[in-house]
Structure 1
Amino acid sequence: MAHLIEQMAYVGATPWHGLGSRLSPQQPLEVWQREAGMDWKIQDSPVHFKADAIGQLGSIQTFPEQKVLYRSDTKAPLSVVSNRYQIVQPREVLEFYRDLTEVSGYELETAGILKGGRKFWALARTGQSTALKGNDQVNGYLLLATSCDGTLATTATPTTVRVVCNNTLTIALDGATRAIKVPHNTRFDPQMVKKQLGIAVSQWDSFMYSMRALSERKVQWHEALGFFMNVLCDASPNSPLPAVLPNERALRKVQSLYEGQGRGATLVSAQGTAWGLLNAVTEYVDHERRARSTEYRMDSAWFGQGAVIKQRALQAALQLAA
């Protein structure tokens, strides 16, 4: 099976997805660019096609409204997009962090490419950190990712990572994530995005206040079952159990993670609490959910259906603690 991740680099402990090559800390962006497989450019060319003609070889025609994007190093095609499409280069994703790492105390931890270069990202630790009771450490991160195949706008996402289990969760308040999204029909302006992010990053304290409330909200067994049914099976917490449970395998697995098999499940902050419910779901999505490969699971957990499930779990947990 072809790997989604063509190349990736990281510093510190091996990332939760277990992929990539390790760098020593404080490497310049140029080293990151090379080691993360991001030292190439996206180039474009008008779309050409061959119009067959009877008895002739056919003629080469041009379709001016569209262009092909391809890699400068391998010449491999990436996608076909409209002429209005604004390209964001792999190097721009890393350059976004230059002043953040040099002036603001951020530190790059992972960067790389997915799907042969159709999607690429970098993740940096912000320096923000909170310990819930029992020394359950949660660190702040900023994820910047984009695609060149139309599957993802250029998106800057404030993210948390729970240290004990490497579970990732997008920061969200009042039912809305704090991600800043720049569609590809708009020019990516990194300074404007950072201005908008300043507000989002400053909401760390409010978000962690909510997470602390989850860690103090004790949960009864029937509430836990209703929570998992709601998040994974899309069933109302108060509805009777159906004869055949949809997504039963996922439900049983998440229950077992919550009841003690999950990493950090027995910490005082998580055992029998709404915080434990949330982390059972995030651990399942990040580490256990069925996927064609670890790379596919990572793509889903950050950008796809897995990310949707985690946000649904967050909102359900916050409702419990309200």
Structure 2
Amino acid sequence: MTTLALPDVNQKFAAERIAQINRAADKQAGIDAQVAAGKLRNLGNGRYLVTDPDSWDNGEVLTMSQGELLPEHGLDETTGQVALYTTTPAWHQLGNVIPGGTTDIDQVLTLGGINFNVSRRPVLYQANPTDQLRILPDQFVNIREDTNAGLGVVGARYEVLQNRQGFEFLQDLVDDYAVTWESAGALREGRKVFISMRLPQTVTIDAEGVNDEVVPFIVALNSHDGSSLFQVVVTPWRPVCGNTERFAVRDAVTRWGVRHTRNARDRIEEARRTLRLSVDYFDHFAAEEEALARTEIAIKEFHEVIGDLWTSPDEDAPVRTRNKHAKRLDLLTDLFDTNAARLGRTAYAAERAITEFADWKTTIRPTGSLRGNNLAARATAMVEGSADELKSKAHRRLLTLTHR
């Protein structure tokens, strides 16, 4: 009988640990080289600022995690927990993941870290350091009750719309109260809260073998800092690329908002009409997208569309301006080629390329609490619809090619 020697687990562990250290050292050497080249700035505590003007991540703060430089997620962590509930794991692998989701509002509020109330309190001030505190008339500060954090200063007419009311409002927009909540969470220390659920309709773009599935979501955005309306948007999301994106159906409005006033909860029917939460809406959307998918276009036509969206600089324009335009054109062409490999050289692939560029490749300059956090700012901009006008214009322009 032959006796096989068992492997030395200690030796195996030591060898693997040495390999891990060597890999981390190699990565650290690469990071140090980028710092020396001026492409990264060491902020301390494992955080680095991208300072490379040629990088699309320029201005973003990256954090060292297990030897990897990763973008920051921007979610609220003021209670010691990441404020996120989701049905599927996110890229950062954080938050409370419930496969299949839940219909329990209370559970989502807790898991999403948004089971807090907000109250208004008078704004106090001192005219001089030794004076007694005075009340500023008609001004209030919104206070997060579980952390006592000041979220923003608002006027006398402002009414707090609690997070639970946002859930109930969203649910009232659809007929089926057994909807599954897809995600919920908080950004900016709770100043902004998001809630989303999946609509029962699923749109399939089934033209010329594309078979591309678009899953419509409805998202509510509630702010507690007085900076924005309570908003609801319809978002067709493509799981194949992980982006959230909105497309205009001709000039249809897919966004509804209301000020934080007493009658906000009374305007559900207005929201339902404005958002066009109907099968006809999605049928119309699918018909237009299928028309784009059936329309083959040449690269020259794609470049003409790009020229309509971004005017070409004059020959006497500054070199930097001309280089920026050329770089954008090259990137859009690459994105078109990538999408065309799966979708064909169609107007539909062109729309995907422009949408991807608008959501992920354009320069973004975060301000306020999102300063230095490009990823969180970009995600917020997508949901808030910062690039909607560009996407809508591209959609309408590409539709003209279907009538040739």
Q: CA deviation at 1:220?
A: 1.4
Taking only the aligned residue pairs, the percentage that are identical comes to 24
Distance 1:67 1:77, change over 3 A: same
Query: 2:151, 2:225 within 8 Å by CA — same for their partners in 1?
Result: yes
CA shift digits 1:169-204 (9 cap, x unpaired) = 324233242212212346322633554257343411
Please give the alpha-carbon distance, in whole angstroms, between the structure 1 residues aligned to 2:145 and 2:195.
20
Matching residue within 11, 22, 32 for 2:108 = 32
Aligned residue number for residue 4 of structure 1: 74
Please give the alpha-carbon distance, in whole angstroms, between the structure 1 residues aligned to 2:176 and 2:361.
38
Using structure 2 for the length normalisation, give the TM-score.
0.68
SS of residue paired to 1:59: coil
Query: 2:173, 2:272 within 8 Å by CA — same for their partners in 1?
Result: no
Query: 1:17, 1:294 within 8 Å by CA — same for their partners in 2?
Result: no
* 1:79 matches 2:149: no
Please give the alpha-carbon distance, in whole angstroms, between the structure 2 residues aligned to 1:74 and 1:172.
40
Matching residue within 271, 278, 282 for 1:201 = 278
Please give the alpha-carbon distance, in whole angstroms, between the structure 1 residues aligned to 2:93 and 2:212.
22
Query: For 1:36-185, what aligned pairs fall within 5 Å after superposition?
Result: 36-52=112-128, 57-98=130-171, 103=176, 106-132=179-205, 133=207, 134-185=210-261
In the alignment of these two chains, the number of paired residues is 310
Query: 2:233, 2:275 within 8 Å by CA — same for their partners in 1?
Result: no
RMSD across aligned C-alpha pairs, in angstroms?
A: 3.0
SS of residue paired to 1:128: coil
For the pair shown, the structure with the greater C-alpha radius of gyration is: 2
Give the structure with the higher percent strand: 1
Q: Which runs of 5+ in 1 are unaligned?
A: none
Of 186-195 and 126-135, deviating more is: 186-195
Query: 1:229, 1:251 within 8 Å by CA — same for their partners in 2?
Result: no
Query: 1:167, 1:279 within 8 Å by CA — same for their partners in 2?
Result: no
Q: Which runs of 5+ in 2 are unaligned?
A: 1-60, 62-71, 77-82, 365-372
Corresponding letter in the other structure for 1:5:
L
Distance 1:10 1:214, change over 3 A: same
Please give the alpha-carbon distance, in whole angstroms, between the structure 1 residues aligned to 2:157 and 2:99.
40
Please give the alpha-carbon distance, in whole angstroms, between the structure 2 residues aligned to 1:179 and 1:100.
13
Please give the alpha-carbon distance, in whole angstroms, between the structure 2 residues aligned to 1:17 and 1:255.
29
Distance 1:100 1:303, change over 3 A: closer
CA shift digits 1:233-274 (9 cap, x unpaired) = x3179x9997615455444323212111x5xx422xx32111
Aligned residue number for residue 298 of structure 2: 220
Using structure 1 for the length normalisation, give the TM-score.
0.84
CA shift digits 1:9-29 (9 cap, x unpaired) = 1103x3578764311324211
